[in-house]
């Protein structure tokens, strides 16, 4: 089969590899029909995350089951499925407490040995372990919502969780960062009953996308986000602030926007060893902070249902569709920010 | 002032009465700008609920504060406000547990001595007791959402609570009864992220209204509602069933629609002494049942925020606007079901 | 191996059967060390539930793993484990919503084909399917809490869930019925912070047990339970009422005890087709009702932790310990109510 | 009346002042029967919080109502009451969302103009504003639990909230700091069903108190708290960590103790402008953080119920009882750490 392999930083190739096969009775093998490049893929691509050589990349994908282990209950050959980007065990302490993102044996597709040694989904075939826990049926009304469901395994559900764990209906939500996760959070806020969503970024095109989703856009290069949020909330601040960036400056902006008693919800990934925080301000405001790896399988069913109902349409952020064979060019464009979101077709 | 007075069953008059005045430091006096006739008003109108003579009717209203007691903190003359139809104390055992519908001293406007002896709002002026607890500001962006906020004090929030206390995003909701509360529940389900809403009634016009709100409509005169719900849910049944009717037959229909592990949420008012229920089926399914007088002040803030955001538009169900002086005709039409919802203007 | 087999109503035998073996990669085989007779076992024993002949009875047991399928992650030979009495799949719609008691493929040990065809645990060996989901480790601090953990798979967790899903700390709880589940609910209420627990029964010995657990006991043969509960709650009624009986009269008593805004939590099993309920009273009070098959695996971890901490000690209700070979006599005594709870030792 | 007045840092006097009187219809006047010195009182006493001269100190007190405004519903002369240390309005945005600690008009007794200009309770009489919201009846079973209820208005409820908002039954809780709030959190954890509580401090006497409450004590001067917590939790870390200190070092210790997916609950008061936090570790663990001024009136009813049930006994931490006239000596002792908790009797 053909697969996108990372040979070295900035060097991906479409290689011919043997079709993988299931090795555990709880595995399924999927023939991939769509797969996407995610911002997280840039970590190994740019060499910021060092992987073993020749890793198959990719953790956003959907397709059709072509083989299933004999302990798989939910899936059989021919079923169309999407998978969580994080494979959890379903039975450790954290999984039993409904925190699969903290699974003791969590594995992420296409990110190498340290993250569980799972080959990625930018390929014609991929194995999903512990399928009953980690995969989901694509509802039978055909392929109508495939483009939306593609993102249910990662960015859409990550943005959704950031809202669902923190927001009450009628709330004012501020989203710092209008990248893919920020835009997904913006959609989720609307679908779950936010009264208003205020999106902060400095890139005009992204702000335009946020406005298309019904949000108010604040260009932080030109206006003080705190002023904008206070204006929109009778000077209280936002009930929920989503930090969808993952840098210290975004965090400090986010803290400045939240009201007393509000919640700071952080889907952004933080690698910094240390950040100096205005802790007195957080204490005085009585802020609740939520962060960490997403609990995809806890929220993916809601997301898929809302995808198929047309209430969440993350396909809106797809900017390019290319063949898998064009992966080297696709990665180049994505790194160069010439594309917002690229979907690859493994069949071409 | 002019006020709608119930002289005897089926006999309302527009009487000239003294303007009421505040008697407690926590009261406010409101000059009424809009008031509506509610299904509950038919209970005394039709003689099913016997009241003392000469009660001023009405518990859905909004207007402007013209006087405020000296212990009122939130309101001052000139403020535009809407009030909960139930006035609670804010400090009894149930109120402290956030269950104002079960307030030990709950009073309802316009329903006589037994319900707390509060003159109603179908009048030029009305006193709202314990205003800091029971009234709410109409947001300052003018009168743009008045038509929607008018219902925040009763039917919209009642329908909203029936959903909010029971539904998770992505759920399938079945609503039995497409009257005003059922339609408000339908709107709320959409606003809070239902994947699909199925509305059951036998009146074509009501089903049409439900479809206009984005729901699937099932005419129970022609189709088995259980079949329709099972078809839409992979044979599981609805996650949440709202019984917005309040009769034994509706309850039995509702029970037949709910999935194993689902919730039956009952905003409908039950006066029956006894109903014979299929308890074995409820047990086997493991159904959760929620019912009782609405906790309006627990949900009204969310409803008002969503009204002003344009996400809840109960004004869609207004069928007639008339002057307060036409109240006798309005009551006749409403009882005769010639009108879905009538708004009265106290100034004409 | 020896096993307790139901030959016909009122006729159990200790038979010599082949040791069962695992048939799925997710199964484990347990050598049983303790097993108990549960009230539910009387349904087939007394012929109220008709089973196929020669069923191995029993669904409360613990022991040591002697074989594990190759897809089992959590357990290996030599591990000491307890199992939920209900085996759920962990991946159907209801399981994914954390409602394993409503699992589409729920199976109960020792209750025949209709309930999933699982051989029971009153035997030297028993197979537990889907072990990662349904079994739990007995904490490594030896066998100190075995006697308590034995009940974690059924009655203790059933009583615990009835409290945990309904009670807030500081509440007044009324428990109708001081049988094993009622007593377990009483213990749970204490462990989770009830301010007072009032237990209602007519059997002096059971009421004495309730008092030993710190509850107030009301003999319903001599006193009106409603008077007792109103006296203890400033005339409000109980915040939570547990119906641990499962008969119409208990349900009506329970309804009479609950306060406005309170919760009626029903672990009792209802088989009645129809019960005539005071629905107007339920509506007026605004009662929430929770019922259905227990979600054992959602609560069993908390129960085991509290067993080992000494905060829940259901072993207190054990009245007799006998050898498995005495099973016929044990069943006779249990039916005759000569024993509250009998534990059988499969090794003798 | 006699009252404890702060003349200057380290200089309190018992002054003769006029008895205060109610000025709002929602006020009550209390004749104080018991009042305590709290750690927070040391902030002005030691000059770290600068107050206007001649402030009456004290915010922990109980007594009997001797006057009540005409808009007070819950209280009348002769009622025995305790008050929250924070007086909230009950009707602002935050109060309506059940976050009274974030009340827009929050006032704290005895801490000067900036915190709302309320005279304190270390006096023979004190006025409680908005009494229906902020005061609570002492249950009528006499004065049996007065000593415990005295702390319901502040430290007991603060410690309780730190647990109640974060803990599930069966959890392992680590408490950093065995001062009054840490010990109250320890009690609360036990009352609400913690499986184990591990208390970390460096003062032997405090650790001894923690052990008396059933906790495991870790002397951080001699042992690594992280080792102790990992040992007790199969190397996971604590489910909930309470930082009851409020200094950077305590916070860093607390972060090191919490498990992946756990909660860090901070009742400690933070004044630091900035703290450098291991944010990457927090992100990787997926920690939830809760902090801020306590929402006393949300939890005080549960605390009082548990006080009277004997399940919370904070009176155990009282080390000294003195007359109000001895206040100067009491403050000296308290600052010198010669006393854990001092209760003053205003009548002597």
SS3 category, A125:
strand
Answer for the pair D214, D190: CB distance below 8 angstroms, yes or no.
Answer: yes
Q: What is the DSSP string of A292-315?
A: SS--HHHHHHHHHHHHHTTS--GG
Instruction: Name which of A171, A194, A306 is nearest B170 (Cβ-Cβ).
Output: A306
Distances (CA, A) of B339 to B39, B186, D165: 11, 20, 49
pLDDT of residue D144: 65
Residue of C89, C279, C284, C287 to mutate for B, most B C-beta atoms under 10 A: C279
| Cβ-based neighbours of A330, under 8 Å, separated by 6 or more | A37, A320, A322, A339, A342, A344
Q: Per-residue pLDDT tens for A3-61?
A: 999 999 999 999 999 999 999 999 999 999 999 999 889 999 999 888 898 999 999 99
Among A271, A291, A311, where does a domain finish?
A291
SS3 category, C124:
coil
* Mean of all residue pLDDT scores within chain C: 95
Residue of chain C nearest D160, judged by CA positions: C169
Question: Chain B within 8 Å of C98 (Cβ-Cβ)?
Answer: no
Q: Per-residue pLDDT tens for A261-288?
A: 999 999 978 877 899 999 889 999 999 9
User: And the tokens for B348?
Assistant: 């004409």
Number of domains forming the structure of chain C: 2
| Nearest by Cα to A137 from A25, A26, A30 | A30
Across the interface, whether the CB atoms of D306 and C171 are under 8 A apart is answered: no
CB pairs under 8 A between C and D: 56
Question: Chain D within 8 Å of A97 (Cβ-Cβ)?
Answer: yes
Among C291, C307, C322, where does a domain finish?
C291
Cβ under 8 Å to A: B residues 294-313 = 301-306, 308-309, 311
At CA B308, angle to CA B303 and CA B311, rounded to 5? 70
Comparing C135 with D270, the larger pLDDT belongs to C135
Q: Per-residue pLDDT tens for C234-254?
A: 999 999 999 999 889 999 999
Instruction: Name which of A168, A285, A292 is nearest D292 (Cβ-Cβ).
Output: A285
pLDDT tens, position by position, for chain D (348 residues)? Answer: 999 999 999 999 999 999 999 999 999 999 999 999 998 999 999 998 888 989 999 999 999 999 999 999 999 999 999 999 999 999 999 999 999 999 999 999 999 988 899 999 999 999 999 999 999 999 986 556 889 999 999 999 999 999 999 999 999 999 999 999 999 999 999 999 999 999 999 999 999 999 999 999 999 999 999 999 999 999 999 999 999 998 899 999 999 999 999 999 999 788 778 999 998 899 999 999 999 989 999 999 999 999 999 999 999 999 999 999 999 999 999 999 899 899 999 998
Residue of chain A nearest D239, judged by CA positions: A94
pLDDT of residue C273: 80
CA distance B136 to chain D (A): 10
Answer for the pair B161, B101: CB distance below 8 angstroms, yes or no.
Answer: no
Instruction: Name which of D73, D89, D93 is nearest B91 (Cβ-Cβ).
Output: D73
pLDDT at C144 over 70: no
User: And the tokens for D133?
Assistant: 């919201």
Across the interface, whether the CB atoms of C132 and A90 are under 8 A apart is answered: yes
pLDDT of residue A114: 86
| Cβ-based neighbours of C279, under 8 Å, separated by 6 or more | B251, B270, B272, B273, B274, B275, B277
User: And the tokens for C327?
Assistant: 């099973």
Q: Same structural domain for residues B217 and B263?
A: yes
Q: Same structural domain for residues A62 and A168?
A: no
Q: How far apart are CA C118 and CA C120, in angstroms?
A: 6
Question: Chain C within 8 Å of A92 (Cβ-Cβ)?
Answer: yes
Answer for the pair A241, A264: CB distance below 8 angstroms, yes or no.
Answer: yes
Across the interface, whether the CB atoms of C301 and D193 are under 8 A apart is answered: no
CA distance D196 to chain C (A): 7
Kindly give the parts of chain B with pLDDT less than 50: none
Q: Same structural domain for residues B168 and B240?
A: yes
CA distance B247 to chain D (A): 34
pLDDT of residue B200: 98
Across the interface, whether the CB atoms of A286 and D260 are under 8 A apart is answered: no
Which helix (H) or strand (E) covers residue A12, if one does?
strand A11-16
Q: Same structural domain for residues D147 and D211?
A: no
User: And the tokens for B107?
Assistant: 């009073």
pLDDT of residue C252: 94
Q: What is the DSSP string of D30-76?
A: EEEEEEE--GGGHHHHTTSS---TTEEP--EEEEEEEEE-TT--S--
Q: Same structural domain for residues B181 and B143?
A: no
Q: Per-residue pLDDT tens for C298-336?
A: 999 999 999 999 999 999 999 999 999 999 999 999 999
In the block, residue with structure tokens 């001797």: D66
| Residue C239, beta-bridge partner list | none
SS3 category, C333:
helix
Q: How far apart are CA A252 and CA A259, in angstroms?
A: 14
| Residue D12, beta-bridge partner list | D6
Distances (CA, A) of A219 to A172, A201, A206, A290: 18, 6, 10, 25
| Residue A39, beta-bridge partner list | none
CA distance D87 to chain A (A): 16
Q: How far apart are CA B256 and CA B180, in angstroms?
A: 23
Range of the domain at C136: 2-154+295-345
Question: Chain C within 8 Å of B272 (Cβ-Cβ)?
Answer: yes
- Residues from chain A that touch D286, judged by Cβ atoms under 8 A, are 99, 101-102, 291-293
Answer for the pair C324, C346: CB distance below 8 angstroms, yes or no.
Answer: yes
Q: How do beta strands A258-266 and A238-243 pair? A: parallel
CA distance D177 to chain C (A): 23
User: And the tokens for D232?
Assistant: 């007790």
pLDDT at C159 over 90: yes
Max CA distance (Å), chain B: 61
Q: How far apart are CA D101 and CA B344, in angstroms?
A: 42
Question: Chain C within 8 Å of B337 (Cβ-Cβ)?
Answer: no
Across the interface, whether the CB atoms of B277 and C280 are under 8 A apart is answered: no
Q: How far apart are CA C81 and CA C131, in angstroms?
A: 10
Residue of chain A nearest D98, judged by CA positions: A261
CA distance C312 to chain D (A): 10
Q: How far apart are CA C102 and CA C338, in angstroms?
A: 34
User: And the tokens for B332?
Assistant: 């006749």
Across the interface, whether the CB atoms of D305 and C168 are under 8 A apart is answered: no
Q: What's the length of chain A?
A: 348
- Residues from chain B that touch A235, judged by Cβ atoms under 8 A, are none
- Residues from chain B that touch D91, judged by Cβ atoms under 8 A, are 73-74, 132-133
User: And the tokens for C309?
Assistant: 């901490």
- Residues from chain B that touch D90, judged by Cβ atoms under 8 A, are 90, 132-133
Q: Same structural domain for residues B255 and B316?
A: no
In the block, residue with structure tokens 């999903």: A128
In the block, residue with structure tokens 């001649």: D54
Q: Same structural domain for residues B281 and B303?
A: no
Across the interface, whether the CB atoms of C278 and B282 are under 8 A apart is answered: no
pLDDT of residue B245: 92
Q: Same structural domain for residues B265 and B180?
A: yes
| Residue C318, beta-bridge partner list | none
Across the interface, whether the CB atoms of D25 and B98 are under 8 A apart is answered: no
pLDDT of residue B114: 86
Answer for the pair C124, C113: CB distance below 8 angstroms, yes or no.
Answer: no
User: And the tokens for C321?
Assistant: 């310990």
Residue B256 phi/psi, 5-degree rounding, is -70, -15
Across the interface, whether the CB atoms of D91 and B25 are under 8 A apart is answered: no
| Cβ-based neighbours of B297, under 8 Å, separated by 6 or more | B84, B86, B88, B100, B133, B134, D96
Residue B14 phi/psi, 5-degree rounding, is -90, 105
In the block, residue with structure tokens 């404890």: D4
Q: Same structural domain for residues A212 and A270?
A: yes
Q: Same structural domain for residues D181 and D230?
A: yes
Residue of D102, D161, D162, D295 to mutate for A, most A C-beta atoms under 10 A: D102
Q: How do beta strands C80-83 and C60-68 pair? A: antiparallel
CA distance C285 to chain B (A): 6
Exposure string of C113-124, with b = 16+ CB inside 10 Å and e = fewer, is eebbebbbbbbb
Q: How far apart are CA B243 and CA B255, in angstroms?
A: 9
| pLDDT bracket for residue C268 (50, 70, 90) | confident
Q: What's the length of chain D?
A: 348
Q: Same structural domain for residues D166 and D304?
A: no
The ipTM of this complex is: 0.95
- Residues from chain C that touch A301, judged by Cβ atoms under 8 A, are 93, 96-97
Q: Same structural domain for residues D280 and D225?
A: yes
Instruction: Name which of C90, C98, C105 is nearest A98 (Cβ-Cβ).
Output: C98
CA distance C123 to chain A (A): 26
pLDDT at C131 over 60: yes
- Here the CATH number for the domain that contains residue C120 is 3.90.180.10
Number of Cβ atoms within 10 Å of the Cβ of A346: 27
Question: Chain C within 8 Å of B101 (Cβ-Cβ)?
Answer: yes
Cα end-to-end distance, chain A, whole Å: 12
Task: List all chains that touch chain A, counting a touch as 3 or more CB pairs closer than 8 Å.
Answer: B, C, D
- Residues from chain B that touch A308, judged by Cβ atoms under 8 A, are 195
| Cβ-based neighbours of A332, under 8 Å, separated by 6 or more | none
Q: Could you tell me the pTM of the whole model?
A: 0.97
pLDDT of residue A126: 98
Max CA distance (Å), chain C: 61
Which helix (H) or strand (E) covers residue D284, if one does?
helix D279-285
Residue of B166, B283, B288 to mutate for C, most C C-beta atoms under 10 A: B283
| Cβ-based neighbours of A41, under 8 Å, separated by 6 or more | A57, A58, A59, A110, A331, A334
Residue B141 phi/psi, 5-degree rounding, is -75, 50
- Here the CATH number for the domain that contains residue A271 is 3.40.50.720
Q: Name the DSSP letter for residue B118.
A: B
Q: How far apart are CA C192 and CA C173, in angstroms?
A: 11
Across the interface, whether the CB atoms of D311 and C191 are under 8 A apart is answered: no
């Amino acid at each position: 089969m053909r697969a996108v392999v990372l040979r070295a930083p900035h060097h991906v190739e479409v290689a011919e590899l043997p079709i993988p096969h299931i090795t555990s009775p709880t595995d399924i093998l999927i023939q991939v029909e769509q797969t996407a490049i995610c911002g997280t893929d840039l970590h190994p691509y740019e060499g910021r995350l060092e992987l073993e050589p020749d890793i198959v990349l990719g953790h956003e994908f959907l397709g059709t089951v072509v083989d299933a282990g004999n302990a798989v209950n939910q899936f059989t050959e021919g079923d169309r499925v999407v998978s969580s980007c994080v494979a959890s065990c379903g039975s450790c302490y954290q999984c039993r407490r409904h925190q699969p993102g903290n699974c003791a044996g969590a594995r992420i597709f296409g990110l190498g040995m340290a993250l569980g040694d799972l080959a990625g989904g930018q390929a014609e075939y991929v194995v999903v372990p512990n399928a009953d826990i980690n995969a989901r049926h694509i509802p039978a009304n055909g392929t109508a919502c495939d483009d939306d469901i593609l993102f249910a395994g990662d960015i859409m559900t990550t943005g959704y969780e950031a809202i669902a764990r923190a927001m009450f209906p009628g709330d004012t939500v501020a989203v710092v960062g209008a990248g893919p996760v920020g835009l997904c959070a913006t959609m989720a806020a609307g679908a779950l009953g936010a009264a208003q969503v205020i999106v902060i970024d400095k890139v005009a095109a992204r702000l335009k996308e946020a406005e298309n989703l019904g949000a108010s856009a604040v260009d932080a290069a030109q206006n003080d986000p705190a002023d904008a949020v206070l204006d929109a909330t009778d000077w209280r601040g936002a009930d929920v602030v989503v930090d969808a960036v993952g840098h210290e400056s975004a965090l400090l902006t986010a803290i400045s926007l939240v009201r007393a008693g509000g919640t700071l919800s952080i889907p952004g990934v933080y690698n910094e060893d240390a950040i100096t925080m205005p802790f007195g301000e957080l204490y005085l405001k009585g802020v609740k902070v939520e962060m960490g790896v997403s609990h995809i399988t806890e929220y993916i069913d809601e997301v898929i249902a809302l995808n198929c109902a047309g209430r969440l349409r993350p396909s809106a952020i797809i900017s390019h569709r290319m063949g898998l064979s064009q992966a080297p060019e696709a990665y180049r464009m994505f790194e160069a920010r010439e594309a917002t979101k690229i979907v690859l077709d493994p069949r071409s």
